[in-house]
Amino acid sequence: MTQIAGSPGNTMTLELWPGKAYPLGATYDGSGTNFALFSEAAEKVELCLFDTDGTETRITLPEVDGFVWHGFIPNIEPGQRYGYRVHGPYDPANGMRCNPNKLLLDPYAKAIDGHFDWDQALFGYNFGDPDSRNDDDSAANMPKCVVINPFFDWGVDRPPNHEYADSVIYEAHVKGLTQTHPDIPEQIRGTYAAVGHPAIIEHLTSLGITAIELMPVHHFANDSTLIEKGLSNYWGYNTIGFFAPDSKYSSNPNPGGQVQEFKAMVRALHEAGIEVILDVVYNHTAEGNHMGPTLSMRGIDNAAYYQLVDDDKRYYMDYTGTGNSFNVRHPHSLQLIMDSLRYWVTEMHVDGFRFDLASTLAREFYDVDRLATFFELVQQDPTVSQVKLIAEPWDVGPGGYQVGNFPPQWTEWNGKYRDTVRDFWRGEPATLDEFASRLTGSADLYEHTARRPVASINFVVAHDGFTLRDLVSYNEKHNEANGEDNNDGESHNRSWNCGVEGPTDDPEILALRGQQQRNFLTTLLLSQGVPMICHGDELGRTQGGNNNGYCQDNEITWIDWSTADKELLDFTRTVSRLRADHPVFRRRRFFSGKPVGRRGQGLTDIVWFTPDGAEMTGGDWDSGFGKSVGVYLNGHGIPDMDTRGQRVVDQSFLLCFNAHHEAIDFALPPEEFGASWEPVVSSAVPVAPEPGQSHPAGATVSVPARTVLVLRAE
């Protein structure tokens, strides 16, 4: 035991015990706090404790085991603010950037309080001279880590554990979803508490949502370049704290209060049967390239945490477009990721993760390797392997587009689904065969790795790109507000403005745009796989043609609840209920195309028809002008079992897709497929067809231009 005197002017006197090397981070046990920090580069590590007035007390950690520096201090309680200073070599050319003048955030901090002011003191060099060394003290310019209270009354909370096949995911931004909702108290709008508010939960449950996928909530840095333009990092893909929920989304003013508020949000969503999936960024950090600031891992052990250029280690490998790439080769970097994932599952009760630029995590060396160490660790982990794992299967490096190539345990954002469905409904030729593949679960992408249709996370729109309304309203991006002369964002959007660019009063154009939105939503919700809706698309949300709203924390990106398209919302609810009520739309296995036996009257589980009622042939699929197709889904051909081991049986459906600019007559199948057919959804109108309007087998039904018609066999 060691007595520690406070800094000059500070009367604090503390005891210092050796403590333990595990767990890493600051861990409060009811009597005091254990501090542990990994650094192989360090020669000495100082723990820095801060009083409420900013007074700093520095404590040299007394013990080091396996490159983990640690100590235990009795009576250090939740709310204590802290950071680290690491003494060691400063030799950028050899990848070493220790500088004890820079206060550093704990990579394992459970909460972070404050913000970066982007003073030169945050940088390891002097502006204008990147080869110089800057020894200005950065403590006054840095946020501080916070010791948290780990105790929380979860009550009877338990994960909903929805099967993938039964899931409907809702991608949302904490602030963008809630900032203008009239039924949420103003003081909590834009926060975790708002997401857990009954008004939001009721909206989600009315849509049949089973999981909300939150855009990054790990503590992130607001880019100085954006602040200079009067903008800010809205999306949050600039992480600097893998364990800490960002305080910007908290209505609790107490240091560390964001942790309690986040847990309360999860508990409320779980009570409503809604899972919580986090969009996580483990591929890079906010410290950027060699010109970036020294905020945390760069000053703790630069070479351990980042992939450096082999022949000149002052520079960083950049597969992410953000300046650096996390070093998934190093065991302690891998441990940091795995510890973070386990923490969010076990302590914060989240139900899964969507991994941003996941291909980067497979780059142990240069090439993408789906059997990289990270994926092996996930597969072997008894906690992480059991939650939902969703890959964004690309990065910006060579060979980074890896849709269909992730390990069997993983699901993927299916970018090919997005592109094909967009092309089909804007009338692009030669898309029919691929459209059929995407509609039925993308077996061409996933079946060869023994995966099932649920490996495909189907989406037409996500946060990155046009909203659904803008997808049918703009041919070109309109990102002028971002201050980059409209050069940022994707230029090839596969969008169609229906004849007029942007806002219009033309009733025919508006009607067509509404119909196209319904086409996309119907296709999405009735495709095999897991549908993902982007927040506000069911309400007709617009960003005014901005397809890169990453820096727009304002009305451009927030949902405007006062202008919600209630007809579109009701239509979305109708189609979502149809999906939920009928397992034929959410099969757990791919279609076989084989007869299903006596109960199925010898019919195959799926049949494709031309509009004239003939079964599709190879020539029909290869026809470049084909824009219309019918598909019969056999409700007796589902190879799934229910929880009691009984084979699932459903009604049969016929889906008639007409992407042509004119109405097409579809001949209904002969009587062996169904004696009569009742329309249940038509995207040509915003309301469900009147019940009882049946058509006999073999009859002809006119399907309007650019319409999907869903009929149920009777």
- Residue 713, by phi and psi: left (phi above 0), alpha (psi -120 to 50) or beta? beta
- 342 to each of 94, 274, 346, how far by Cα in Å? 33, 20, 6
Residue at 563: amino acid letter = T
Nearest 10 degrees: Cα torsion 509, 512, 513, 518: 170
**Secondary structure letter of residue 87 according to DSSP:** E
Q: How far apart are CA 143 and CA 125, in angstroms?
A: 20
- 528 to each of 106, 399, 511, 588, how far by Cα in Å? 43, 28, 28, 9
**Within 13 Å, how many C-alpha atoms sit on residue 448's CB side?**
6
Q: Which residue in 461, 460, 464 sits closest to 552, CA to CA?
A: 464
Q: If you search the block for the tokens 């692009």, which residue do you land on?
A: 428
Which among 261, 392, 395, 412 is annotated as catalytic?
392
Contact 180, 288 (CB under 8 A): no
Residue by residue, DSSP assigns 225-262 as HHHHTT----S---EEEEEEEPGGG----STTHHHHHH
Q: How far apart are CA 633 and CA 638, in angstroms?
A: 9
Contact 170, 203 (CB under 8 A): no
Handedness of CA 549, 550, 551, 554 (dihedral sign): positive
DSSP H or E stretch at residue 586: none
Q: Which residue in 132, 86, 78 sits closest to 107, CA to CA?
A: 86
Q: How far apart are CA 169 and CA 208, in angstroms?
A: 9
Is the N-terminal amide bond of 23 cis, ω within 30° of 0?
yes
- 179 to each of 25, 49, 187, 218, 241, how far by Cα in Å? 33, 35, 10, 19, 24
Task: Mention every residue, 6+ apart, whose C-beta is less than 8 A from residue 468.
Answer: 460, 461, 517, 520, 521, 534, 537, 540, 541
Handedness of CA 466, 469, 472, 478 (dihedral sign): negative
- 597 to each of 592, 651, 673, how far by Cα in Å? 13, 16, 14
**Secondary structure letter of residue 322 according to DSSP:** S
**Within 13 Å, how many C-alpha atoms sit on residue 384's CB side?**
23
Active site residue 356: yes
Cβ neighbours around 379 below 10 Å, total:
15
Q: If you search the block for the tokens 């036996």, which residue do you land on?
A: 597
Which among 46, 246, 318, 356 is annotated as catalytic?
356
Q: How far apart are CA 352 and CA 388, in angstroms?
A: 4
Strand 411-413 with 388-391, pairing: parallel
Active site residues: 356, 392
